[in-house]
């Protein structure tokens, strides 16, 4: 059998026991006696000539070429029935990552233009989008969902492996889409609800906000306890300058505004076993998300596997072709 596999360039047979049928035609020929034709009741001198005419002009025995072609077709049919297989190219299984929800603040304060991106002054939301897009590129294997919040919280995308859809929805988000206030507690509760519907595993929420909780029906501290009870770890990111700034002819002038609730965000992260981060510019925010990427690593690819490719169609086709050829040869003779 090993010689047959090497001859055909195969790696094995799924049903090798089917090859035991190879000598079956020979055994039938050996064990079953040939059927003798009945002798005529009346013999005449021209009896052989009449039999020759009745049989189509020839009483010659079956030619050896027909027998060998028939046996070859039978052999190939047995090989096809044994399901020859060949190992395909190695395929690495997909990476397995986290169930990761992103909660992004779209309140009015995220429109403050106090961030620098690519040498130009941009608002906080634009800077956050750029950093989050880069963060998502590195999260291959994660199921990522997106929650945006302002006066209310909304789930824009469910948990999905399609990170491109999440990036598209994030790119289309604008300041004030969910209202101008800030409902941090509701955002945590909604993200937790989305995460708890998934199988048990590493459930992570990355919360980005630049203000304090000023709206919503659920207190952030209570929402953090609910998240902890459901196995959700929250990394809280406080983003933005201290109170915002006004850009006049390229100069940044400080202006009043709500400061980030750093103490409240620290408590949220501590209760759920996460980390608190403070980012006052785009570079700091990028560094924070790089650190979160290291804190929540995606499991690397497992051992590569080589799928088995079925190779029975080729011997089956040869068997059918040679079988038809044997019939043609037999009829011609």
What does each of the 333 residues of the chain score in pLDDT, given as a tens digit?
565 555 556 677 888 888 888 888 888 778 876 555 555 555 556 556 655 655 554 444 455 666 777 888 888 888 888 888 888 787 766 556 678 899 999 999 899 888 888 888 999 999 999 999 998 988 877 889 999 999 999 999 998 989 899 999 999 999 988 888 999 999 999 999 999 877 666 789 999 998 889 888 999 999 999 999 999 999 999 988 655 444 444 444 444 445 788 999 999 999 999 999 999 888 999 998 888 888 776 665 556 677 788 888 888 888 888 878 877 776 665
pLDDT at 230: 92
**The pLDDT of residue 256:** 42
- Helices H / strands E in the chain, number of each: 11, 13
Distance (Å) of CA 142 to CA 31, 92, 137: 66, 16, 10
122: three-class secondary structure by DSSP: strand
How confident is the model at residue 250, as a pLDDT?
A: 47
Q: Tell me phi and psi for residue 223, to 5 degrees.
A: -65, -35
Whole-model pTM over 0.75: no
Task: Sketch the domain layout of the chain as residue ranges.
Answer: 2-90+306-332, 99-295
Query: Are residues 8 and 84 in contact, defined by beta-carbon separation less than 8 angstroms?
Result: yes
Q: Determine the Cα–Cα distance for residues 169 and 123; give it in Å rounded to an integer.
A: 18
* pLDDT digits 0-9 by tens, 32-50: 765 555 555 555 565 566 5
In the chain, which residue ranges form alpha helices assigned H by DSSP? 2-8, 24-31, 47-54, 64-81, 124-137, 163-172, 184-196, 220-229, 262-272, 282-295, 313-332
Q: Can you name the residues that pair with 248 across neighbouring β-strands?
A: 251
Cβ contacts of 329 within 8 Å, gap of 6 or more? 63, 65, 66, 69
The answer to whether the CB of 85 falls within 8 A of the CB of 315 is: no
Query: In this structure, what are the phi and psi dihedrals at residue 91, rounded to the nearest 5 degrees?
Result: -125, 125
What would the CATH number be for the domain defined by 99-295? Answer: 3.40.50.410
pLDDT of residue 84: 87
Contacts of 26 (CB under 8 A, 6+ apart): 71
For residue 260, the model assigns a pLDDT of 82
> Residues 19, 13: contact at Cβ < 8 Å?
yes
């Amino acid at each position: 059998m090993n010689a047959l596999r090497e001859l055909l360039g195969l790696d094995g047979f799924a049903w090798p026991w089917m090859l035991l049928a190879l000598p079956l035609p020979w055994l039938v020929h050996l064990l079953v006696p040939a059927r003798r034709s009945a002798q005529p009741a009346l013999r005449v001198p021209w009896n052989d000539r009449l039999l020759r005419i009745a049989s189509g002009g020839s009483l010659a025995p079956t030619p050896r070429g027909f027998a060998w072609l028939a046996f070859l077709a039978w052999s190939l049919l047995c090989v096809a029935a044994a399901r020859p297989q060949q190992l395909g190219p190695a395929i690495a299984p997909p990476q397995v990552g986290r169930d990761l929800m992103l909660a992004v603040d779209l309140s009015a304060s995220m429109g403050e233009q106090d961030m620098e991106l690519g040498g130009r002054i941009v608002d906080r939301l634009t800077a956050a989008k750029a950093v989050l897009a880069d963060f998502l590129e590195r999260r291959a294997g994660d199921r990522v969902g997106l929650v945006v919040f302002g006066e209310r919280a909304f789930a824009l995308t469910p948990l999905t492996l399609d990170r491109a859809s999440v990036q598209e929805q994030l790119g289309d988000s604008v300041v004030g889409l969910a209202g101008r206030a800030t409902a941090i507690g509701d955002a945590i509760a909604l993200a937790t609800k989305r995460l708890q519907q998934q199988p048990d595993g590493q459930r992570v929420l990355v919360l980005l906000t630049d203000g304090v909780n000023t709206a919503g029906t659920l207190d952030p501290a209570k929402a953090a306890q609910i998240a902890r009870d459901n196995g959700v770890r929250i990394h809280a990111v406080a983003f933005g300058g201290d109170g915002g700034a006004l850009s006049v002819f390229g100069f940044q002038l400080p202006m009043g505004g709500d400061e980030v609730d750093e103490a409240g965000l620290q408590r949220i992260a501590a209760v759920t076993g996460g980390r608190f981060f403070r980012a006052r510019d785009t570079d700091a925010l990028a560094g924070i998300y790089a650190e979160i990427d290291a804190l929540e690593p995606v499991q690397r690819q497992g051992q590569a596997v080589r799928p088995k490719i079925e190779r029975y169609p080729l011997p089956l086709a040869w068997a059918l072709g040679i079988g038809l050829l044997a019939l043609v040869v037999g009829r011609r003779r």
